[in-house]
Amino acid sequence: MSAVINRAKHRYIKAIKWEMAIIFLSFLAVITVQSELNVSFLAGAISSFLPHCVFVYWIFFKSAKVQQKMTAFYWGEGMKWLMTMVLIILSLTLLPALKVLFFFAGYFVTLLLNIVLPVMLERHTT
């Protein structure tokens, strides 16, 4: 594995750990505001966080031996989209007290963290 990919792998692992901590702290903040909103926020955060973790796992750990890196990337991205759609549909249908605004607030906060944290960690370490 090249040094660049190895650094990116470690940066994404660190970003996932930071993201888990931020999601947990955000969840605690939502609980203090109103306890019935915590399930909606957490469901939205999980609907964005779990597919991202699957994508990172697929790219850096599962497909490390695959020669066609772009094919592995597209497979990972496809799995991420499919898992996201399934989790959103399950959340919207199985959670009767779901507050859609807080669901998508959790989803978009986590989506933003998926993008921003690796970039911030890259700038911080260089």
pLDDT along the chain (126 residues), means of 10: 76 89 84 75 92 90 70 88 96 90 91 89 73
How many helices (H) and strands (E) the chain has is answered by: 4, 0
Instruction: State the pLDDT at residue 66.
Output: 62
CB 75 within 8 A of CB 63: yes
Instruction: State the pLDDT at residue 112.
Output: 93
Instruction: State the pLDDT at residue 45.
Output: 92
pTM score, whole prediction: 0.83
